[in-house]
Structure 1
């Protein structure tokens, strides 16, 4: 009848030596190297901690029904002004627009706005040569990073002569100069903007110097030629709210989660190598030690 090997067990030998011996010193240095080398390697290759976390999120954006349009025609003539603000630098603003249309659409029906359609109509005696448009939004991120702010997007275009209708397209994108903190609510800019105490330059400067804001990218302008003072000049704008690539600074727990994974990935490899090397040294009697077999212990 054939015989099968159904179970096996390794014989475990113990190697003992004095505290002050070469064998003890060897094991001590092997342990120090096993624990410290992974730290050194990780430090030299970028460190344990994740300094910049990148993720995508669809922001919650709402147009605040606040805007300022300055349309200039000829030098020496007051610009056409359309605005929801009543005063500017303590001077009353007269809204010259005859029609204002605002529409925000949720195209994919996910509960978040996707497109802003904005239209202004006004009469002017001379063709518009350039326009400046300021739009104000509420902007929120609710994923890993919490961000809530009122922010301004600005447009400035020089217009060809004899234009009756101006069409503008673009993407509203997040502008970051600093990393968002994952463990705090970033609401330092969550306050209403009042243009009565600021010049146009100050408004633009504040928007540029902010740590977080919005900007209009991939913008383009087209127009319909032919001007008539008897017909309304039209400014149409379509802004698309896009998915954002958000840069943030990870929280403590997230950093620790990746730190121990990096450390143990190297530690187990060096622990295995150290065990094999020290075992080979003791088995081949390169250092003096006392060998105790399992049956001698009994």
Structure 2
């Protein structure tokens, strides 16, 4: 025999119970997902190897044993300001794409600084600039820099540097569009003023950005024992590795993330609610009007005819 179905009026206790069960089924999962402190995806991240190219812009400052400073830059205005402290070096730079994927992987940089026979180098500060671009999510373009400084109590003949050009973020990037707010020169090479070539001022202005690059894990190796006629040599290998990029998710990504969390909890509540309804109506805890199923009514009419 077919099971009887129940029917109740809109103002009945059974209808109120069904409404309460529906509220207790769909609202608690939403509250639980929200209170778990991860309902809305505010930040996300992905891995990308940036497209980096060396701009061949260099700013060098050297400290001698006598306390004097020497220098050189790729900017003629800065070199004029150096006057007798200028030392014109021999510079070579070569970028490599080791895996032939169209994205450069490292920079080999060498600078040979000529010195007078009485000059000894105790420390160097080197600034290199780059074109930096990300394009997997938003297209982010900027001019960035790598800054190296190393000092020793013993005069040196050369210094070796091997590090990674890494991204530092104070705020996430966008998930789409073009972001070129920092696509401006790190060094104002057209300025005639010494203030614009001071490393303290350049680094301070650069650190005001919310997105910068820095030289990571460089671990300079200082080598002593220079002959009076030999130049001081800086050899640097700078890698452009895959980096972790933090970005602000878009609307649909936030909705997808929230929906997955909500549905996972909702399935449990739906299972519990179905068991409660079955118990209430099968045991007549709530009063309803019995109604024969349509299949039973048709069978009864056929039997009468």
1:105 matched to which residue of 2?
A: 96
1:215 matched to which residue of 2?
A: 214
Q: Does 1:45 align with 2:36?
A: yes
Q: What is the correspondence of 1:1-298 to structure 2 with a 5 Å cutoff?
A: 11=2, 13-75=4-66, 77=68, 79-88=69-78, 91=81, 96-125=87-116, 126-193=119-186, 194-195=188-189, 196=191, 198=196, 199-294=198-293, 295=295, 297-298=297-298
Distance 1:223 1:76, change over 3 A: closer
Distance 1:98 1:20, change over 3 A: closer
**Cα distance between partner residues in 2 of 1:89 and 1:230:** 23
**Cα distance between partner residues in 1 of 2:262 and 2:79:** 60
CA positional deviation for 1:143? 0.8
TM-score, scaled to structure 1: 0.90
**Structure 1 segments unaligned to the other structure (5+ residues):** 1-9
CA positional deviation for 1:259? 1.8
Moved more, 193-202 or 99-108: 193-202
1:97–1:120 contact (8 Å) kept in structure 2: no
1:5 matched to which residue of 2?
A: none
1:101–1:118 contact (8 Å) kept in structure 2: yes
Distance 1:117 1:262, change over 3 A: same
1:131–1:159 contact (8 Å) kept in structure 2: no
Greater helix share, structure number: 2
Distance 1:158 1:20, change over 3 A: same
**Structure 2 segments unaligned to the other structure (5+ residues):** 299-305
1:58–1:242 contact (8 Å) kept in structure 2: yes
State the secondary structure of the residue aligned to 1:82: strand
**Cα distance between partner residues in 2 of 1:145 and 1:183:** 4
**Cα distance between partner residues in 1 of 2:213 and 2:127:** 12
TM-score, scaled to structure 2: 0.88
